[in-house]
Amino acid sequence: MGKIARFKIIYIEEQVPGIKIFRMEPVEGKIPPYKPGQFAVLHLLDDKGASMLKRPYSIASIPGMPYLEFCIKNVQGKMTSALDKFAVGATLGIELPFGHFTYSGEKSISMIAGGCGISPLIGILREIAEKGVNGRFVLFYSAKTRNSIIYRKELEELARRNKDIKVVLTLTQESPEGWVGECGRINDEVIKKHIADPKVFDWWICGPLPMIKGLKDCILGLGADPKRIRAEGWG
């Protein structure tokens, strides 16, 4: 940790409007060891390889993949505006790993994500599915519209691959015809509909800070153990 390595962008996909999936491989050497759920610091480099600007982003990929994957929303800031202009083949610096929002083999986890908060959680779910972990894993994921659900097809595929993974999608700004998920914000009614006993779960929440505060209060009110709640947010 602490060393900036050069990485090359090998894949870019604007999966939903304004949000891009980036995959990056090291220019030299191997990807440093990391755990699912951790984050990296991305650096814009000058012509001499020195850092000009840096920002932290959750890692969506899992150890063993030949690349690092990031899900980044263009919020019109200096970093995201620059990244939005990058093309395949561009290079940048990456420093990792950081963070304690990590998966270490827990068997009962309820995850809550809003928007790009899905980034570390998709990594954790990928790890669980890849290793065939048995347990109880529930993801509550809130998006504004059906077309703004990041990783929607993969989330559905992960739930098919591992019967112990359950994905609960909810839309806050529309109720489209044929929609079989939930509508409205994640609240105690939605949670109780899908989880009978919140006390037996570890709770991991990732999203905007106001969302995290409200959901912490919500799950504590449902009986969740405060020592088993982790949160990572922004804003």
Short-list 156, 151, 147, CA closest to 118:
151
Average pLDDT of the residues in 161-187: 94
Tens-digit pLDDT profile for residues 118-132? 999 999 999 999 999
In a 13 Å sphere around the CA of 48, the CA atoms on its Cβ side amount to 2
Q: At 230, is the pLDDT very low, low, confident or very high (cuts 50, 70, 90)? A: very high
pTM of the full predicted structure? 0.93
Q: What pLDDT was estimated at residue 193?
A: 95
Q: What pLDDT was estimated at residue 221?
A: 95
Q: What pLDDT was estimated at residue 2?
A: 64
Average pLDDT of the residues in 150-156: 95
Q: What is the side-by-side strand order in the sheet with 229-234?
A: 182-183, 165-171, 136-143, 108-114, 202-208, 229-234
Average pLDDT of the residues in 127-147: 95
The residues, any chain, with a CB within 8 Å of residue 235's CB and separated by 6 or more, are 208, 209, 210
- Report all structural domains of the chain as residue ranges with CATH numbers, in order of start: 5-98 (2.40.30.10), 108-234 (3.40.50.80)
Q: Is the pLDDT of residue 82 over 80?
A: yes
Tens-digit pLDDT profile for residues 181-208? 999 999 999 999 999 999 999 999 999 9
Q: At 171, is the pLDDT very low, low, confident or very high (cuts 50, 70, 90)? A: very high
Average pLDDT of the residues in 86-94: 97
Report the mean per-residue pLDDT for the chain. 94
Q: Is the pLDDT of residue 1 over 80?
A: no
Share of the chain above pLDDT 90, in %: 93
For residue 166, give the DSSP letter.
E
Q: Is the pLDDT of residue 3 over 60?
A: yes
Task: Give the length of the chain.
Answer: 235
Q: At 234, is the pLDDT very low, low, confident or very high (cuts 50, 70, 90)? A: confident
Q: At 85, is the pLDDT very low, low, confident or very high (cuts 50, 70, 90)? A: very high
